[in-house]
Amino acid sequence: MKHLPGFNLTTKREIREPKTTRRIAFFLPNLHGGGAERVAVNLLKGMSNQNIPLDLVLATAEGPYLNQVPDGVRVVNLSAGRVIKAILPLSKYLRQNQPLALLSHLSHANIVALLAGKLARTETKLVVVEHNTMSSNKSKLIQAKLVAPLMNLLYPSADAIVGVSTGVSRDLELQLGLSEGKVITVYNPVVDNELIAKSKADLNHPWFQDGEVPVFLAVGRLTQQKDFSTLLEAFALLRKQKHARLMILGEGECRSELEAAIACLGISEDVSLPGFVENPYAYLNRASAFILSSRWEGLPTVLIEAMACGCPVISTDCPSGPDEILEAGKYGHLVQVGDEVAMSEAMLQVLEIPVDRNMLVQRGMSFGVDKAISEYLALLIQV
């Protein structure tokens, strides 16, 4: 992986490309451990296998997924810190390199990409990818409240807008007053041979050895969106009926709040928050069930990954994605958002009624990397 730090004079010469090698560029704030970042890395892996020249442009080149970027991808570090400060450096990158297209991920980064594109005044096609249901984001942060008006102002100028699920696409059209069909749905590239291989890797954790009690697994950033508080309450109810354990993989700003809740509920011995792990698939392959407790999503990648690993799943019927993925409950339990009683009942049912794991694997495989890459490349040809 060729890492290009910043925009000093030497770097400018290094990253300037001849017009004959038009590249496809990806833009993200960083590569911290989130679903959108994982999706971008999967797209980069798949496209690099097709010998497409690729750049990964980051506001700040940091995060645990950096070491998963394929060797053939150039990483351009704008060294901007906060993504809002990346507008000018990104516009410089666009002028100097003039990539064929820039694929931006996440709402706040998409706004920056569209502003940078206007400043750069190049022929680069700007494609913004929306990963969450806009109407469900109830963040009270001042910065978040500014995002919606800017999306309303700037998104119509994008060459293409992609939603990662039908629910995300239709919601975005409604919220921004866009015509039906303006937002194109492309399911995330989730499952590939590497994921399956990683799921079969050795796992030495004592909770996952033969003869141990059932383990429920959740994966995601420790944020309000993921609503792990309700999951903890559901698990506490389950523990009154059945000996089991709960592990939540991920890191985030709600850690101290969740640790306090665990202590208050008296379940400390049976709950673990180990933080971010490099290979969650080995855990998913061995867990008794995976639980998605989110208040909202776009297309929850980890729900698909769990199914591909053959892991039974329980999910909130949150907007958007779970109902589409599970086909209204055909492939797993759907419970109402914030309903700890229904969630605990689903957890008990999963332990008592066997699930056809092969059926889950087949459903997970329908969200393959190759299919997503074909659809993105077709979209780029179209625009």
Query: Measured between alpha carbons, how far is 127 from 17 in angstroms, rounded to an integer?
Result: 21
DSSP type of residue 26: E
CA nearest to 112, candidates 136, 80, 141, 65: 80
Phi-psi domain of 266 (left: phi exceeds 0; alpha: psi -120 through 50; beta: other): left
Burial classification of residue 200, based on how many CB atoms lie within 10 Å of its CB (0-12 exposed, 13-18 middle, 19 or more buried): exposed
Predicted pLDDT of residue 20:
37
CA nearest to 315, candidates 217, 237, 208: 217
Same topology, domains 2-189+368-382 and 193-365? Answer is yes
In tens, the pLDDT along 184-229 reads 999 999 998 999 999 999 999 999 999 999 999 999 999 999 999 9
Token reading at 143: 């910065």
Token reading at 253: 């700003």
Which residue stretches of the chain are H helix? 9-15, 35-48, 87-97, 107-120, 142-154, 166-176, 193-199, 228-239, 255-265, 280-286, 301-308, 322-325, 340-352, 357-365, 369-382
Amino acid in the structure at residue 16:
R
Query: Could you tell me the pLDDT band of residue 19, with boundaries at 50, 70 and 90?
Result: very low
Query: Measured between alpha carbons, how far is 35 from 118 in angstroms, rounded to an integer?
Result: 28
Predicted pLDDT of residue 51:
87
CB–CB of 303/292 below 8 Å? yes
Token reading at 50: 């097709």
Q: How far is CA 65 from the centre of its chain?
A: 12
CB–CB of 275/307 below 8 Å? no
**Fold of the domain built from segment(s) 193-365:** Rossmann fold (3.40.50)
Instruction: Return the residue matching tokens 């492309």.
Output: 186
Give percent of the chain above pLDDT 90. 84
Query: Measured between alpha carbons, how far is 236 from 86 in angstroms, rounded to an integer?
Result: 44
Higher pLDDT, 12 or 4: 4
In tens, the pLDDT along 247-292 reads 999 999 999 999 999 999 999 999 999 999 999 999 999 999 999 9
Q: Which long-range contacts (CB under 8 A, 24 or more apart) does 151-156 make?
A: 151/107, 151/110, 151/111, 151/176, 152/176, 152/177, 154/110, 154/111, 154/114, 154/115, 155/110, 155/114, 155/128
Query: What value does the mean pLDDT take over residues 305-331?
Result: 96
Query: What value does the mean pLDDT take over residues 348-374?
Result: 94
Phi-psi domain of 338 (left: phi exceeds 0; alpha: psi -120 through 50; beta: other): left
In tens, the pLDDT along 104-147 reads 999 999 999 999 999 999 999 999 999 988 887 665 555 667 89
Phi-psi domain of 122 (left: phi exceeds 0; alpha: psi -120 through 50; beta: other): beta
pTM across the whole model:
0.79
Token reading at 339: 């309903």
Predicted pLDDT of residue 21:
58
Predicted pLDDT of residue 10:
28
- The DSSP-derived string for 240-265 is TTS--EEEEE---TTHHHHHHHHHHH
Backbone angles phi, psi at 104, to 5 degrees: -105, 145
Half-sphere exposure of 267 (CA within 13 A, CB side): 27
CA nearest to 293, candidates 237, 227, 232, 234: 227
Helix, strand, or coil (residue 12) = helix
Predicted pLDDT of residue 2:
46
Asked whether residue 7 carries a pLDDT value surpassing 60, the answer given is no
Query: Could you tell me the pLDDT band of residue 13, with boundaries at 50, 70 and 90?
Result: very low
Domain boundaries in the chain?
2-189+368-382, 193-365
Give every CB contact of residue 104 below 8 A, 6+ residues apart in sequence. 26, 27, 28, 110, 112, 113, 114, 126, 127, 128, 129
Whether domain 2-189+368-382 has CATH 3.40.50.1950: the reply is no
